Amino acid sequence: MRNWLVLLCPCVLGAALHLWLRLRSPPPARASGAGRADQLALLPQWKSSHYDVVVGVLSARNNHELRNVIRSTWLKHLVQHPALSQRVLVKFIIGAHGCEVPVEDREDPYSCKLLNITNPVLNQEIEAFSLLEDTSSGLSEDRVVSVSFRVLYPIVITSLGVFYDANDVGFQRNITVKLYQAEQEEALFIARFSPPSCGVQVNKLWYKPVEQFILPESFEGTIVWESQDLQGLVSRNLHKVTVNDGGGVLRVITTGEGALPHEFMEGVEGVAGGFLYTIQEGDALLKNLHSRPRRLLDHISNLHEEDALLKEESSLYDDIVFVDVVDTYRNVPAKLLNFYKWTVETTSFDLLLKTDDDCYIDLEAVFNRIALKNLDGPNFWWGNLFLCSDN
């Protein structure tokens, strides 16, 4: 028995010493990207104190003024009252990486994806969809087909069309073509095709003009072809037609990604025609493309300055958590998840509160509400919940 004690005692003492050192030491730094981000994604010192509430404040990298407003109002009140400051930890949540694509060159201002336009087709009408020369065009069983698209640079749709029925008896169908804006129930454009009024034939399509107005950048639309007869449509799978994006101003998206009106959700994804469009303000587009290299250099220089300011701000106030994501609006969920992970790994707390840098927090009211509603139990969610209806 004594031999066993001699063997076990060093192990127990070693484990106890390891645990004691672990509690007294900050966690090891984690890699957070290359280049400038290595300087930013330095996690604050590990807090051994226990907090009743940890407050995470979502903030964008360039929102220095909003953070300073918070520091001079409700956060200042917290610091000046020890009874509160011992119970509450407040951290701003900021992405460690700035987007390296200038805002003017992104697909939308909320992401970090480059608007990849090359060799745009200017000053002429463009056929959005076309059939190959050797493609047969017989009727299918589809009564309704639809396809969705996203506009990446302003365009004007001039005509809607249907595929040509290759027979010797002429146009013998009744078809309605509608163009919807995403999440809207009324059609923006409607074109009706019938034997007496089949429009103008261009290549393998019949086209009819529609009222013209500009579809702006980020516009999402759905074109729906409906057969009014027992006959079906001359339709093709989306992947079996030629798509002309005008050099990158248009993107076809799947039905699942688009937002079709509810009554057309049963429609088969496909193409039964097309549309003609022109690129709006082509000269401005060319000017924008030519100025990209200079704009990119200026933007990278501004990012370096922004990094330096954030590093100085973090060192001065010690209230920022840099999470390993590109700081854009679409990455807000990733920012929150990384902050939650940081909070669980580095702090001891009862409740976690998330807010934004344009909000004012009355901490006394928060604690009063918790006490009044008995919200200090485990596994509860306090906030606004939105139920999405299928109707």
pLDDT tens-digit series, residues 187-228:
999 999 999 999 998 888 999 999 998 999 989 999 999 998
87-99 confidence digits (pLDDT tens): 999 999 999 999 9
* Confidence category of residue 376, pLDDT binned at 50, 70, 90: low
Task: Identify the pLDDT of residue 183.
Answer: 81
For the segment 257-277, the average pLDDT, to the nearest whole number, is 62
State residue 266's pLDDT score: 43
Tell me how far apart the alpha carbons of residues 45 and 35 are, in angstroms, rounded to a whole number. Answer: 22
Alpha helices in the chain (DSSP H): 2-24, 36-40, 64-71, 74-79, 82-85, 282-290, 292-317, 332-346, 363-372
pLDDT at 340 over 80: yes
pTM score of the predicted model: 0.72
Which has more pLDDT, 27 or 109? 109
142, 268 Cβ separation under 8 angstroms: yes
- Residue of 380 and 346 predicted with greater confidence: 346
Q: What is the pLDDT of residues 134-189, one digit of tens each?
A: 555 666 777 888 889 999 999 999 999 999 876 656 778 899 999 999 888 899 99
